[in-house]
Amino acid sequence: MKTLLIVTLLACALPAAPAAAAEVMEDRCKAEVAIPQAYDNGPASPGVIVLKRANGKTPWTPPFTVRLGGSGHIRWWCHSTTGNAFDPGTWRIKELGVATKCRIYADASPESCSPDASVKIGSSAWNGWTPERSRCGNRSTRIRARLDGNRLLQIQCLGH
| Residues in Cβ contact with 34 at an 8 Å cutoff, skipping those fewer than 6 apart | 43, 44, 48, 49, 50, 51, 76, 77, 79, 129
pLDDT of residue 84: 53
| Residues in Cβ contact with 107 at an 8 Å cutoff, skipping those fewer than 6 apart | none
pLDDT of residue 36: 96
**Contact (CB, 8 A) for 45 and 37:** yes
Element (H, E) at 96: strand 91-104
Element (H, E) at 12: helix 2-13
d(CA 157, CA 27): 14
Could you tell me the pTM of the whole model?
Answer: 0.64
Element (H, E) at 31: none
pLDDT of residue 8: 33
pLDDT tens sequence for the chain (160 residues): 443 333 333 333 433 333 345 899 888 888 899 999 999 999 999 999 999 988 888 999 999 999 999 999 999 998 875 555 555 555 556 677 888 888 888 887 877 888 888 777 665 667 888 889 999 999 999 999 999 988 899 999 998 8
pLDDT of residue 136: 92
Which whole-number Å values give the CA distances from 2 to 7, 9, 10, 105, 154, in the listed order?
9, 11, 13, 106, 50
Length of the chain: 160
